[in-house]
Amino acid sequence: MLTEMKLEQVAGEFQDQGYSVVEGLFTPDECRAIRKIAEMLPSFKSGDLLPVMNPHRERPELLDTMSDDRVVSIIRRLMKGKPVGMQTQYFFCRPGTRGFSYHQDNYYVQAAKDQFASAWLALEDVTVENGALIVLPGSHRGGILAVREIPQPSTFGQDPNHNRRECVVERDYPRVSVMVRQGGVVFLHGHVVHSSNDNTTTDKFRRALLMTYLAEASAFRPGHIANRTPFALKA
């Protein structure tokens, strides 16, 4: 659990930059256990290693991670309202995987501003080379941006349905590659624009578990593919 001083620091970074990194929330053993759970998913067993939408529906053990108070206590501080679970996504990001296009998580969910946030758990050390997130600090201060269709010269390692559009970003924001060690969590504002680097390595995965949270009773868009349904977090 973070101290009150550290929570204030994280909240300040989140409000100012649109994201904050908290290192060491989970142990290496806990990260390896989550990776083992993911090896029971069809995407792993088939060998396609595509991102898995809502893996907690197949492996409810992942709700233990999503409900862990080390994460939820921070989410509670970062957004308005009592958090409930929204969805999860698991990324294998094997060597050669193309990076994700620039997007805002709340573009898909359409919740009220400050009532939706994401926690991105690094299950191994994340570097630029193996596919670190790229964040545009300050881009969360505006609303939801327009999007445009983009070409996909390669869909290797990505679901093409989720990577065929990008935000239209008209302001010149800095682009920060967010390197984080195994067990660290990147907390993302629902409006902050972010993408990810290509995994240019030949032998390193970049496994991560994305967990998203909604303020209880907030309106949202369920989506045709994600079929989002809010759920209570485990006590």
User: Is residue 36 predicted with pLDDT exceeding 90?
Assistant: yes
List the domain range (segments joined by +) for residue 21.
11-215
The pLDDT of residue 193 is above 90: yes
CA separation, residue 150 to residues 49, 81, 160, 162, 185 (Å): 23, 36, 11, 11, 29
Spatial distance between the Cα atoms of 39 and 27, rounded to a whole number of angstroms: 19
More reliable by pLDDT, 32 or 164: 32
235 in a domain, yes or no?
A: no
Whether 5 maps to a domain, the answer reads no
In a domain, 27, yes or no: yes
In a domain, 50, yes or no: yes
Under the banding of pLDDT at 50, 70 and 90, the label for residue 171 is very high
* In-domain check, residue 191: yes
H-type helices in 18-111, by residue range? 28-38, 42-46, 62-66, 69-78, 105-109
Euclidean distance between the first and final Cα of the chain, in Å?
16
**CATH for 113:** 2.60.120.620
Asked if 31 contacts 125 with a C-beta cutoff of 8 angstroms, the reply is: no
Determine how many CB atoms are found less than 10 A away from the CB of residue 86. 25
222 within a domain of the structure (yes/no): no
Specify if 226 maps to a domain.
Answer: no
pLDDT band at 156 (very low <50, low <70, confident <90, very high): confident
Average pLDDT over residues 175-183: 98
On the question of pLDDT at 151 being above 90, the answer is no
For residues 67 and 175, what is the distance between their CA atoms, to the nearest angstrom? 31
Q: What is the pLDDT of residue 1?
A: 76
For residues 176-200, average pLDDT:
98
- Judged against a pLDDT cut of 90, whether residue 64 lies above it is answered with yes
- Mean pLDDT value across the chain: 95
Answer whether residue 152 shows pLDDT above 80.
no
Percent over 90 (pLDDT), the chain: 88
Residue 69 has pLDDT above 80, yes or no: yes
- SS3 category, 77: helix
Contacts of 152 (CB under 8 A, 6+ apart): 98, 160, 163, 164
* Structural domains in the chain (count): 1
Q: Is residue 188 part of a domain?
A: yes
CB-based burial label for 175 (10 Å; 0-12, 13-18, 19+): middle
To the nearest 10°, the Cα dihedral for 186, 22, 71, 111? -40
Q: What is the pTM of this model?
A: 0.96
